[in-house]
Structure 1
Amino acid sequence: MRRALHHADLLARQFLCNILAETGFPAHHETGGKFHIGPAEAVVLQRLRRLGHASDNRLALSVQEGMVELIPRESLNLAAINHIQHLADCPRQINVEAGKSLRLVKEVERRKINRGEETDPDTARNIRRGNTFTRINIIGSILRLYMPNDRIYSGYCKYKTRITHNIAERRKDSVCNFWYHGARNSSPKVLVCTRVMAPSKTVEATETNALPVRRRQLEIVTASPRFAPADPMEAEARFFRSCGIGKPHLARAIEDARRNDTTIEAELIAARHIRPDIYYRWLAECLGLPFLEKINPRSVLTPASVDILLVRDGPLRIHDRRGILTVIVPSARSLSTEQQRLSRRPELRSQLAVAAPASIRAAVWAANETARARFTTSALDERQREMSARTVLTGAQGFALALMLCAIIAAVMIWPKTTLVITHVALSLLFLSVTLLRLVAAALGKRPPPPSLSPQDKLPIYTVLVALKDEEETAQQLVRSLHRLDWPKSRLDIKFICEQDDWKTIHALRAANPGPHCEIVRVPDLGPRTKPKALSYAMAGAKGDYVVLYDAEDIPSPGQLREAYGIFQGSDGRTGCVQSPLVIANYRKNWLTALFAIEYAGLFRSLVPFMGRFDLPVPLGGTSNHFPRKVLEEVGGWDPYNVTEDADLGMRLYRAGYRTVAAYHATIETAPETLSVWIRQRSRWLKGWAQTWLILMRNPRRTLREMGSSGFMLSQALIVGMLLSTLTHPFMYALIGLYLAKSAQGTTSSYGQLHSGLFMLDVASVASCYTAFAIMGLMHMTAREQQRISSRHLAMLPAYWLAMAWAAWIAILELGRKPHHWAKTPHAVHTEKPDGTKAQGSASDR
């Protein structure tokens, strides 16, 4: 028995090596969270599970502190190492689901069941019962069987007859891995299929490759070809072909590289056909240079221009025991040149090392974080002090407000009734001006039509910024949402920006495995802990020509980037921002979310398109803003001290001569579901609007000159009207109630007609406010949304506005005590999509 087991083990090794040597390792791919495998990978997986230590002249595996380490021999090519390492990283978490694929759930040995055998739900979940196969024609000479004593034999079989209908129907001549479960020394009873793979070649070719054959020596790429092709793309393709990359993957990478104006190397890494750490280790071995998996940030030399390495791949200079060491990032195209240089000057080998670009960026982020954070928090205040909210009130503004307050008090003391009546009428007219603006926007503001998103070549790099804080619950959803963006992965630059001590969010993002085009940026605790500070800090590493920001709970439409890019390309150069609409997903939760959805529909489907259409200043939303990077840098970026950075940036864009355009493709968001969370969010918004108005009024003449009379007046009506109408809303109810109480008592005065007129003005102001609020939102909702908004939701409008007034007074108090405090809004994972929205979140019918 021992001899048989030893013989089976040797056959399994020989089978693995022959498959690697002859076929270059079967290709795999990921779909919907499942990892599809081929026969050779299954053998590797079982060997990793069985053996704590194994080795031969081609492969060595060892277990240290619970982690499986792969030690490749030089006979294995790059593709084989990359595939096996994926299995070595998580051998105990991969589970073979009966049928077709691997799931990262539990180890496979715990999920075997017999036909008719009862088992617990955890074991039987997602497992099809085994099927008894008849007329099995085994062509391969190796058989893998699961025996009751858990001894594992390796097998490779090819069935010429059709396998059972529910496993491999219409897959004749399929290659199949299987389990056997039966009693010792008995005939086979149950064969459970673990992988059915249609052969990519002809039957004869598959049969030849499947059978054990004599080992062949792999060609090792240690020097450039004698006659290099003129086309660098062809030379690069030849290099990866010699590394064992499969022809289908290589052909697709060449096509994508030509279309996106990138390299084959970038496309293979972006498509996850090559792991960057394994690839650059391989290049280091080809050059005969040491490979640095991690770089100590303390050893990095930090000149003033070191941050350029956040957007460029090396070289980085570090301190080493031997002196100054230069860390380079070779590429497939530069490999031949580097080899020739090292052969001419061998003394350079002691001065050079190789590292992956991610390792260099991580070291630079950490090495220069303090200086970068100080620059981020002070740049706008030092360059354009009038535009920064770091100072809440200037001396001149404080004097003017104090003088105005004293004048009002003196007027009330001298002419009390006249002053109160004039103030009452002025506030009512300001109230009505906001209402009139909403009604005009409802009539003239229209969402743009759906754009035609034709395929485009040579797209630029697009940077996606996502500021996160305590968002471990939404990390998985966020990564999936950004993965669906219709933009080449090799031209995407996604930054997940986290606070330095937010380890839960960082670990959740790493567990989501976002991909090589994504990077986690840790913001040091220096200066205000605000979203705009985090965004400004991450801009140092932004590679893209265009920038968009999203929130943690966002699900953007896949076509949003292409639409924004098309708008920028078709503009006259004055388009500084594209604002995508925001759609509330949980509006059916309660009255608060329903009214929040109405407010957002009016803002992003009516008011923003109206103001963009007539070239008026637009207070941006806090997410789904698209900018050309040069425009964003020209206006100073986000103000780290403004807690409503979106409205402030919209005003600065308008003052600089740029306009904002509304887009069609939407972003799905969630509204706060509790009143306490809603109050915290709304108080921060209103505090930021007050900060923005104070910035506009630091130099009113300059603001009027830059914005023009129409823009200036509209910004005053929009910001001041919103703030004052919200603050004075409870007093409107108090005056109405006071008049009704006196009328009920029959009390009259000499000013009876005046009081009646003011009463009617107050009633008209409040009623028109609610009417305009509802009309602007409901007019631009879909029919399905309108049906789900009931009259009981609209009946809560007075409570909604009184809650807004409460948040406004909190904002005014915080403006004096803690003006830069960021009240964090917790987010939850989406459990529903808004009606009429496509599955991918496009909201195309809105």
Structure 2
Amino acid sequence: MALGGGTSKLGVTDSEAFAQLLLDAKLVTPENLAYARQVKHRTGAHIDQVLISQGLLDSETLLLAEAHSWGIHPIDLAAVTFDDELVRRVSGQRYIAENWLPLRRNAAGTIIVATARGVAPERVERIRSLLGGGELQFVATTSWDIKNACLRLFRAEIADEAANELWRQNPAMSARITFSRGQKIIGAIAAAVFVVAAIVWPVETAIVALATMSIVFLAGTSFKFLVAMRGARYDVVERITKAQVHALDDRDLPRYTVLVPVFREANIVGQLIRNLGGLDYPTEKLEVLILIEEEDHETRDAVLTSNPPPHFRIVTIPKGQPQTKPRACNVGLFFATGDFLVIYDAEDTPDPDQLKKAVVAFRRGGDETVCVQASLNYFNDRENALTRMFTLEYSYWFDYMLAGLDLGDLPIPLGGTSNHFRTSALVELGGWDPYNVTEDADLGIRASALGYRVGVINSTTMEEANTSIPNFIRQRSRWIKGYMQTTLVHARQPLALIRQIGLRRFVSFVLLIAGTPATFLGVIPFYLVTLFTVFVPVGALTQLFPVWLLWLTLLNFVFGNVIMIYLSMMGPYKRGTFHLVLWALLNPVYWLLHSIAAYKGLWQLLTKPHYWEKTEHGLTTHVQHD
């Protein structure tokens, strides 16, 4: 039995003895027990897991049955007063992993221990050794009650670890400090030189600045074009086939954890539960952890009133700073029991077979594959011009750009959702950086630096595209600020990074992670210079700027926009959304919005680098159709 050990007095396996006990006590019907046995045979899950996950047995009834089976009494951990000194003899992680927890000593000096995995003799001796010897008295509880008790007992430690463990392990890889001492010195010197040069040689300084920005802009857009065109060869290739998914044996499937960080999303949690309920994966091997901030009572109440399935659980995120999505995910990682783990946002609708495709990809990729990224796209693409441009951008990015990076074995900046991890490797990486507001992109680069590979799978998660420009600016300013943070973090030790990932990957990192915000910052100046070139007499301009610079700026404006319009037009062809093609002509306006967001992100980098700009969801008037 999953919750016991050894053999029972009946002389059969614990699983069968426990099943018979449930039947004799009329806690399950013969039909439900027969169904549970069929599922057990098909998936390898234990009978108690099947009954709970299918809603055929509730946790309280299971606890009573377990206690009776083990010959001990049940207990409600929520009403227990713990001996803090006794509890802290062992780590919270160990209690959760091994499903036991000491409570206190009774009057006779016996240690009372709650267990969710039986009282087999070898288990009892191991627990006695960890607690320093003495008599033990066991009481029964559930795994989830132990987790909740550990969250209360180790609340401060869990909150601190979620926020600062990466910083303690490797300060250079954390964005907790925005600018290192060396970066501050170099930045101050560069700023001073620029100001002096602008005062003494204003025209020459403007020429050098514009020429430099032109080269950066051209390099960034050309890199994206070349990588996306290379990825376009996967237009007609199915990376993981339906036959490969159907060939999977449910008994061999690993346990999977789904983390869903939500904050002030009460309006869409009902949709969330419906969407994730459609995943084609044995519920006996699936846990969905909904991560809710401690003060977000409205979202918690909305989840509870939505009547989630038994394998959905709420994890309360202790108060702490920074209050960011990656900090919440680190708390979720603390409680995750899956061999693999995936992140979804509240509005996500993943393909039903996405988890199984990820399993195939991990088996194919071997131990060096730490993560596989699914594509993102939008169900409300027809709502307005902004949602159309959003969809065009994501189509080219996920269908061509990431495929090209994957093909070239280049560092892949992860998306904020639908990235699937090998849990053990994620723990080795130190989890997410709570101080980086694009923790996903940072984690992709960090994984590459440690020799891990990030892959891409041919599965899609549908999301809600931003419908309003202010909401879009808030979201993009955070993303661009995060790219700046990631650039600063990994630029602290550039030579070490080159040694770790190689020169080719380093150049890719510079052009993509550093080049993207630099490109967007250059858009407004280029547009202004282009307008002057068109509307101001040439003679007047050539008195200030050389002709070659004006031509270079004009070339950048035309060539850069043509490249991005072409890439945006490519996106619809793979998915057949041809009604979007001509909307790609609006890309110059779309990039202007990005430039505004980039300057906002730059300002926030200097003034409040760890501030998480909240993106509102559930604003669309469109309904997703199955």
**How high is the TM-score relative to the length of structure 1?**
0.67
- Matches of residues 19-30 of structure 1 in structure 2 within 5 Å? none
Distance 1:519 1:716, change over 3 A: same
**Match in the other structure for 2:74:** 291
SS in 1 for 2:21: helix
SS in 2 for 1:445: helix
Matched, 1:455 2:242: no
**Match in the other structure for 2:52:** 269
Q: Is the 8 A contact 1:311 1:542 kept in 2?
A: no
**Match in the other structure for 2:4:** none
Distance in 2, matches of 1:573 and 1:384, equals: 23
Distance in 1, matches of 2:535 and 2:9, equals: 100
- Matches of residues 90-489 of structure 1 in structure 2 within 5 Å? 227-229=10-12, 231-244=13-26, 245-284=28-67, 289-296=72-79, 298-299=81-82, 301=84, 302-303=87-88, 304-318=90-104, 324-329=111-116, 351-446=137-232, 447=234, 449=238, 450-451=240-241, 452-453=244-245, 454-456=247-249, 457-489=251-283
Which structure shows the bigger proportion of residues in helix conformation? Answer: 2
SS in 2 for 1:781: helix
Deviation at 1:330, TM superposition (A): 5.7
Deviation at 1:294, TM superposition (A): 4.5
Distance 1:471 1:534, change over 3 A: same
**Match in the other structure for 2:351:** 557
Distance 1:830 1:562, change over 3 A: farther
Distance 1:741 1:781, change over 3 A: closer
Per-residue Cα deviation, 1:473-496 (whole angstroms, up to 9, x for no partner): 111111122222121111112211
Distance 1:529 1:392, change over 3 A: same
Q: Which amino acid in 1 is paired with 2:471?
A: V
Distance in 1, matches of 2:366 and 2:139, equals: 47
Distance in 1, matches of 2:24 and 2:377, equals: 50
Matched, 1:566 2:360: yes
Q: Which moved more, 1:441-450 or 1:611-620?
A: 441-450
Distance 1:322 1:355, change over 3 A: farther
Q: Which amino acid in 2 is paired with 1:327?
A: A
Distance in 1, matches of 2:167 and 2:9, equals: 59
Matched, 1:732 2:529: no
Distance in 2, matches of 1:664 and 1:416, equals: 52
**Match in the other structure for 1:652:** 446
**Match in the other structure for 2:549:** 758
SS in 1 for 2:371: strand
- Matches of residues 670-749 of structure 1 in structure 2 within 5 Å? 670-743=464-537, 747=540, 749=542
Q: Which amino acid in 2 is paired with 1:390?
A: R
SS in 2 for 1:547: strand
Distance in 2, matches of 1:750 and 1:504, equals: 63
Deviation at 1:805, TM superposition (A): 1.2
**Match in the other structure for 1:633:** 427
Distance 1:831 1:731, change over 3 A: closer
Segments of 5+ residues of structure 2 without an aligned counterpart are 1-6, 125-133
Matched, 1:770 2:564: no
Distance 1:398 1:227, change over 3 A: closer
Distance in 1, matches of 2:286 and 2:11, equals: 31
Distance in 1, matches of 2:354 and 2:456, equals: 12
Deviation at 1:795, TM superposition (A): 4.4
Deviation at 1:322, TM superposition (A): 8.2
Distance 1:771 1:462, change over 3 A: same
Deviation at 1:749, TM superposition (A): 4.4
Per-residue Cα deviation, 1:350-386 (whole angstroms, up to 9, x for no partner): 9443223222222221121111111221211111010
Q: Is the 8 A contact 2:8 2:14 kept in 1?
A: no
Q: Is the 8 A contact 1:609 1:662 kept in 2?
A: yes
Segments of 5+ residues of structure 1 without an aligned counterpart are 1-223, 339-347, 840-846
**Match in the other structure for 2:131:** none
Q: Which runs of 4+ in 1 moved over 6 A?
A: 319-323
Q: Which amino acid in 2 is paired with 1:255?
A: Q
SS in 1 for 2:415: coil
Distance in 1, matches of 2:436 and 2:268, equals: 25
**Match in the other structure for 2:590:** 800
Deviation at 1:226, TM superposition (A): 6.8
**Match in the other structure for 1:173:** none
Q: Which amino acid in 2 is paired with 1:370?
A: A
Distance in 1, matches of 2:256 and 2:331, equals: 17
Distance in 2, matches of 1:795 and 1:575, equals: 38
Q: Which amino acid in 2 is paired with 1:358?
A: W
Distance in 2, matches of 1:698 and 1:625, equals: 27
Distance 1:575 1:247, change over 3 A: same
Aligned length: 597
Distance in 1, matches of 2:108 and 2:463, equals: 54
Deviation at 1:833, TM superposition (A): 6.7
Distance in 1, matches of 2:351 and 2:276, equals: 9
Q: Which amino acid in 2 is paired with 1:409?
A: V
Distance in 2, matches of 1:286 and 1:741, equals: 87
Q: Is the 8 A contact 1:598 1:774 kept in 2?
A: no
**Match in the other structure for 1:585:** 379
Per-residue Cα deviation, 1:580-623 (whole angstroms, up to 9, x for no partner): 00011111111111111111111111111110111001111000
Asked which structure has the greater CA Rg, the reply is 1
Distance in 1, matches of 2:544 and 2:595, equals: 30
Q: Percent sequence identity over matched residues?
A: 29
Q: Which amino acid in 1 is paired with 2:404?
A: F
Per-residue Cα deviation, 1:234-269 (whole angstroms, up to 9, x for no partner): 434433333443333223322322333331111111
Q: Is the 8 A contact 2:569 2:584 kept in 1?
A: no
Q: CA RMSD in A?
A: 2.8
- Counterpart selection for 1:811 from 601, 605, 608: 601
Q: Which amino acid in 2 is paired with 1:272?
A: G
Deviation at 1:282, TM superposition (A): 3.6
Distance in 1, matches of 2:411 and 2:608, equals: 28
Deviation at 1:661, TM superposition (A): 0.9
Distance in 1, matches of 2:321 and 2:281, equals: 35
Select the structure with the greater relative contact order (CA < 8 A; seq sep ≥ 6). Answer: 2
**How high is the TM-score relative to the length of structure 2?**
0.89
- Counterpart selection for 1:606 from 384, 400, 423: 400
SS in 2 for 1:516: coil
Deviation at 1:743, TM superposition (A): 1.5
Per-residue Cα deviation, 1:635-656 (whole angstroms, up to 9, x for no partner): 2110011111011101101111
Distance in 2, matches of 1:815 and 1:651, equals: 20
Distance in 2, matches of 1:528 and 1:351, equals: 41
Q: Which amino acid in 2 is paired with 1:356?
A: T
